[in-house]
Amino acid sequence: MRIQVAGIRAWWTLLVVAFLQAGCETVPSNRSLHDSADLMRARSDATRSVVIGRIEWREHGEKQATKVGPFSTSFAPAMLRMGDKTRIVGGLESDGRFAWSLQPGKYFLYKMAYHDAWSGEGQFSLKYAFNVPRAGEIYYVGMLEVKFTPKRKLLGELIGSPASFAVRDMSDRDLPEFQRSLNLPLDDVHKSLMVWNSSLPAGVDTNKELTQANEVMDAMFGGVPSK
């Protein structure tokens, strides 16, 4: 199984290490898309599309930025591209925005990694998926809203499952921000929102889970073959 990093900055590497598993082959990282020049270079690759969106993390109602450091809060999504089974860590801007350069295919967003100074490292299982139908396009996949209401034991261990997730179409807010930061051509943006499905597996570590994920996502996206 391969691991790839999408939309990554150098400081993000510290968080990426948590996703690397023994026996997995690593592949080169993708650059973050931070400006119009980055966007032009990404769109010139005929084998990929640009995927944009946002993860908004709120802890006890307060919006949190993601930063790497022993005393900071950080979070990052892990995805699996069906077909070649490449694992991808999604790099985020500090405000949760992302612009990833991805190959066409079906993507299973299966895990959210989390770190803070009090609880240390943790992760949450996700059951979201999105589709990148074609290369050479720009797709908006929505905002993944995370409501984190942690309850901890005396030494900081989290109790129960203190996070809830929901996808919202916030394109009216998000697209103008991407237009300002990337000179994004709004007329070229297609929507391919993340979708939750309870039938998706809790992980991707076994052949049974991989087969289940592939079958469910074929049904979700009309049986479009995995790229």
Report the chain (227 residues): mean pLDDT per 10 consecutive residues: 47 43 37 71 87 89 71 80 88 88 94 73 87 94 89 63 87 94 90 96 93 94 60
Strand positions, DSSP E, the chain: 2-6, 25-26, 49-59, 62-64, 74-81, 86-90, 97-102, 105-116, 120-132, 138-148, 163-168, 189-191, 195-196
pTM above 0.85, yes or no: no
Residue 31: its pLDDT value, please?
A: 45
Asked whether 49 and 104 are in contact (CB, 8 A), the reply is: yes
Q: Which of 1, 4, 68 is nearest to 30 (CA)?
A: 4
At residue 22, the pLDDT reads 33
pLDDT of residue 72: 67
Q: Are 213 and 197 contacting, i.e. CB atoms less than 8 angstroms apart?
A: no
Domain positions in the chain: 2-218
Q: Are 141 and 194 in contact (CB under 8 A)?
A: yes
d(CA 162, CA 159): 7
| Whole-number Å distance between alpha carbons of 4 and 89 | 6
Residue 155: per-residue pLDDT: 59
